[in-house]
Amino acid sequence: MTTDEARRATAPNRAPVSGKVRTGRPRAHAAAVRPDSRVRPEHARRHNRALVLQALYRGEGMSRADIAREVGLTRVTISDLVADLISENLVIELGIRPDSRPGKPATLLDINRSGFSIVGLDLSHDAAFRGVVANLDGAVLVRGEVAVGNVSGQAALDAVCTLLDDLLARTTTPVIGIGIGTPGLVDLDGTVVSAPNLDWHDLPLQRVIAERYDLPVQVANDANMAAVGERSFGGARADMMLIRVGRGVGSGIVVGGQVVYGSGFAAGEIGHVIVGTDGGELCACGKEGCLETWLASPRIEARLAAAPDAEAREAVLREAGERLGISLGPVVGALNLGEVVLAGPQNVLGGALLEGTAETLRNRTMAELHGDLTLRMTTLGRDIVVLGAVVMVLTGQLGVS
C-alpha cells in the first residue's frame, strides 16, 4: 500500500458506509467511495519527494537532471527536494559521473541504502518468532529469534517485545521503522482482529508497538507481507498470488501492484475453502475436504510417511498439486493473474506437486487468456515474510518499494 492509500484508508472525512448507500442513490454512493481529492501543498511535496526516492531506489546512480526527466518535474523542484533529502541524510552524493560529455559534469546521487535500518519480524512460525535488521536494500545485517512454543495472549506480546529489544540493541544506524508479519486477520490500522493460535483478539499491535518504541510500525498478515516481499525483492509481477504452505495454507493477492485486503481483511484466506465435491478428510474447522486437508505440510508428511514406495509418494504430491490447481483456477481466471508463487518446504512443494498444480491450471483455464501464467517457487526462502515487512516500512515511511 502506498502512503497515499494508507491516508485515504484512514481519512477521517471518508463518508461512512450506511444504509443510505444501499438505496442506490448515485450521489450517496459516490460520496462513500471517493476519497478526499483536494490536493494540499504538503501532500504534493510528500508525493514528489516519494517520486524522487523511488527513482533513486530503482535506479543506479542518477544525476539531478536524470531524476527530473524520470519523474517529470523541473530541475529547480528536483534540486530543492534533493537538497532537503541530502540534509536528512536520506540521499547521498556518489561523485562525478565519469563521462566525456561537454558542460558541467553531473554529480550522481543515490538513496542512502546503508545509512538506515529497518526491523522486520515474522510471527508465523510455531516454534519461534524470527526477526532481522536489514538496510534499505533489504540486505539482512542481523538475525534474532525468540523461542515461543505454546505462548499466547500477553506472553506472546511480551515475546515480540523481547525480540524487538534484542534486535534494536544491535542496530548500528538510525531505525526508520518496524514491520511485523503476524498470522490472523489484520485490519488496515494494524489491529490483529483475530489470531486464534496466538489468542489475540482485537489487539492493536501496531499502536502498542509504536507507543512502546516511539517508532513508525507496520503490522500486516504474514501472507500479505510475503506477497509484498516477493513483489519487491523476488521480482514478482504486478498481478500475482503468493501461496504460503506450512501448518496451514494462506495466500496474499496482489492486483495492479496493490495488496487486496477484502471486505473483512480475509482476502487470500483459501485454506478452509472446500476443494471439489467428493468430500475428503475432516478439517480442524469441522468441514471435510478443505484445501488445508490436502495441502498443509503435516497432512502431506503423514501421507508421504504412509506411502509404500516412490511411485506412491509421487502420487501423493501430484494429487495435492491437483487440488491446489482446482482451487486456484477460478481465482486466476477471475483476476487474470500473471504469476502464482509458492512458498514453503521446497522438498514438498518443488517437484511433483508444482507440476500437478501447473498441469491442472493449464487444463482448467483458457490458454488464450492465461497462456502467460507463470507458476514457480519463491526465491526468498525463509526470509520472505521479514523482507515483506521491510518493504512495508519502506513504502510507509519513504514511499518506495
CA 363 centroid distance within chain: 29
Is the CB of 96 or the CB of 285 nearer to Zn ion?
Answer: 285
Q: For residues 185 and 358, which CB has a smaller minimum distance to Zn ion in the complex? A: 185
Q: Report the nearest approach of Zn ion to the CB of residue 268 (Å).
A: 15
The region of 12-20, 98-106, 161-169, 272-280 touching Zn ion under the rule CB under 5 A is 272-280
- Contacting range for Zn ion; rule: CB under 5 A; set: 63-71, 134-142, 160-168, 270-278: 270-278
Q: Segment contacting Zn ion (CB under 5 A): 38-46, 76-84, 264-272, 337-345?
A: 264-272
Contacting range for Zn ion; rule: CB under 5 A; set: 90-98, 118-126, 265-273, 295-303? 265-273
CB of 287 to Zn ion, least distance (A): 5
CA-derived radius of gyration, the chain: 23
**What grid cell was written down for 319?**
494429487
C-alpha cell at 342: 509458492
| Pattern 218-237, Zn ion, x by CB under 5 A | --------------------
Pick the binder of Zn ion from 238, 285, 302, 367 (CB under 5 A): 285
Could you tell me which residues are beta bridge partners of residue 134? 118, 140
* Helices 310-335 & 297-306 angle (0-180, nearest 10): 150
Amino acid 318 reads R
Cβ 40 to Zn ion, closest distance in Å?
47
Q: Which stretch in 44-52, 163-171, 258-266, 288-296 sits in contact with Zn ion by CB under 5 A?
A: 288-296
The region of 222-230, 253-261, 275-283, 320-328 touching Zn ion under the rule CB under 5 A is: 275-283
Q: Which is nearer to Zn ion, 47 or 272 (CB)?
A: 272
Cβ proximity to Zn ion, 226 vs 290, nearer residue: 290
Q: Which is nearer to Zn ion, 24 or 286 (CB)?
A: 286
Considering only 213-221, 277-285, 320-328, 382-390, which stretch makes contact with Zn ion by CB under 5 A? 277-285
* Contact (Cβ atoms closer than 8 angstroms) between residue 347 and residue 193: no
C-alpha cell, 248 = 496451514
Q: Per-residue b/e over 144-154, b at no fewer than 16 CB within 10 Å?
A: bbbebeebeee
Query: Do the Cβ atoms of 321 and 357 come closer than 8 Å?
Result: yes
CB 15 within 8 A of CB 32: yes
Q: How far apart are CA 221 and CA 25, in angstroms?
A: 35
Nearer residue to Zn ion within complex by CB, 225 or 283: 283
- Measured CA to CA, the distance from residue 28 to residue 20 in angstroms comes to 7
Q: Look at strands 128-134 and 140-147 and give their pairing.
A: antiparallel
What minimum distance in Å lies between the beta carbon of 323 and Zn ion? 13
Q: Does residue 311 sit in helix, strand or coil?
A: helix
Strands 240-245 and 249-255: antiparallel
Site size toward Zn ion (CB under 5 A) is 5
Instruction: For the CB of residue 335, give the shortest distance to Zn ion in the complex, in Å.
Output: 23
How near is the Cβ of 270 to Zn ion at its closest, in Å?
Answer: 10
Q: List, in sequence order, every beta strand (DSSP E) within 115-255.
A: 117-122, 128-134, 140-147, 175-182, 185-186, 192-195, 200-203, 217-221, 240-245, 249-255
275 binds Zn ion (CB under 5 A): no
The helix or strand, by DSSP H or E, that contains position 357, with its residue range, turns out to be helix 352-364
Q: Does 272 bind Zn ion (CB under 5 A)?
A: yes
- Least distance between Zn ion and beta carbon 288 (Å): 8
Q: Which of 196, 173, 174 is nearest to 184 (CA)?
A: 196
Neighbours of 259 (CB within 10 A): 23
Contacting residue, 81, 168, 283, 341, with Zn ion by CB under 5 A: 283
Does 290 bind Zn ion (CB under 5 A)? Our answer is yes
Residue type, 81: L
Is the CB of 49 or the CB of 303 nearer to Zn ion? 303
- Phi, psi for residue 193 in degrees, rounded to 5: -65, -40
| Residues 372, 378, 383: CA angle, nearest 5 degrees | 150
Residues 6+ apart with CB under 8 A from 269: 185, 250, 251
In the bound state with Zn ion, the residue whose beta carbon lies nearer, of 145 and 319, is 319
Query: Nearer to Zn ion by C-beta: 285 or 302?
Result: 285
The minimum distance between CB 292 and Zn ion, in angstroms, equals: 6
Cβ 325 to Zn ion, closest distance in Å?
A: 19
Q: Is 138 or 271 the residue whose CB approaches Zn ion more closely?
A: 271
Residue closer to Zn ion, measured from CB, 144 or 248: 248
- By the criterion CB under 5 A, which residues form the site for Zn ion? 272, 283, 285, 287, 290
